[in-house]
């Protein structure tokens, strides 16, 4: 075996660094999706109010569904990376090193007594940003008296998509596990 050969532990450490970098990138992207959603919603509401056209509010639900789903997918990948490090990569490196408990932070931050509360609050924030606000926009559209048959059908489909997204937000959040 030549001196420059790569050891299994070097490969695993390189993999760890790679997945942590991906996790960090996904966290930044995911967190920015909330700001983008709030900005788009505010812009559409302002434009609809200025033009006095409640139908413009129908632009909010599809944007929130797309951004909300993208948020959920990234959040799930962030969690999957953490699980992989905790359940697979960490134990393999621990065994190779003959040490105990590699990457303890991956489990330590999950044992905090307020974790369930934080998860439930985050679930409520996600539901509000991606589902409740656009549903409120639909309610305003429906109550404004400017509905047409075609846009009413569109708005019903949008409401159903938002309810589907809300169900997924709750399933992905797992606030009580």
pLDDT of 4: 64
pLDDT of 94: 86
Angstrom CA distances, 62 to 66, 89, 125, 131, stand at 6, 38, 18, 10
Taking the C-alpha atoms of residue 82 and residue 95, their distance in angstroms, rounded to an integer, is 19
Q: pLDDT per residue over 2-24, tens digit each? A: 556 778 888 889 999 999 999 99
Residue 75 has pLDDT above 70, yes or no: yes
Q: pLDDT per residue over 23-37, tens digit each? A: 999 999 999 999 999
CB of 62 closer than 8 Å to CB of 40: no
Both tokens of 101, joined, read: 């408990």
Residue 175 has pLDDT above 70, yes or no: no
Residue linked to tokens 């993999």:
15
Which residues, other chains included, contact 98 with Cβ-Cβ below 8 Å and sequence gap of 6+?
Answer: none
Residue 77 has pLDDT above 90, yes or no: yes
pLDDT averaged over every residue in the chain: 91
Residue linked to tokens 């109550």:
143
pLDDT band at 71 (very low <50, low <70, confident <90, very high): very high
Taking the C-alpha atoms of residue 68 and residue 127, their distance in angstroms, rounded to an integer, is 9
Provide, rounded to the nearest whole percent, the portion of the chain with pLDDT above 90. 70
Residue 52 has pLDDT above 80, yes or no: yes
Taking the C-alpha atoms of residue 105 and residue 16, their distance in angstroms, rounded to an integer, is 13
Residue linked to tokens 């404004």:
144
Q: pLDDT per residue over 101-145, tens digit each? A: 777 777 777 778 888 888 899 999 999 999 999 999 999 999 998
Taking the C-alpha atoms of residue 110 and residue 165, their distance in angstroms, rounded to an integer, is 26
pTM score, whole prediction: 0.87
Taking the C-alpha atoms of residue 94 and residue 92, their distance in angstroms, rounded to an integer, is 5
Provide, rounded to the nearest whole percent, the portion of the chain with pLDDT above 70. 95
């Amino acid at each position: 075996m030549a001196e420059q050969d790569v050891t299994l532990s070097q490969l695993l450490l390189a993999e760890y660094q790679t997945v942590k970098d991906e996790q960090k990138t996904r966290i930044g992207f995911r967190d920015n999706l909330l700001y983008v959603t709030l900005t788009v919603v505010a812009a559409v509401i302002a434009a609809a109010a200025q033009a006095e056209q409640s139908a413009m509010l129908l632009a909010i639900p599809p944007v929130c569904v797309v951004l909300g789903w993208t948020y959920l997918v990234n959040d799930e990948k962030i969690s999957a990376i953490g699980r992989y490090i905790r359940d697979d990569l960490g134990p393999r490196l621990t065994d190779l090193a003959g040490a105990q408990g590699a990457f303890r932070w991956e489990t330590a931050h999950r044992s905090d007594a307020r974790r369930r509360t934080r998860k439930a609050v985050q679930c409520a924030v996600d539901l509000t940003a991606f589902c409740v606000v656009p549903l409120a926009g639909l309610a305003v559209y429906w109550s404004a008296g400017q509905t047409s048959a075609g846009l009413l059908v569109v708005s019903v489909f949008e409401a159903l998509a938002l309810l589907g997204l809300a169900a997924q937000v709750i399933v992905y959040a797992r606030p009580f596990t």
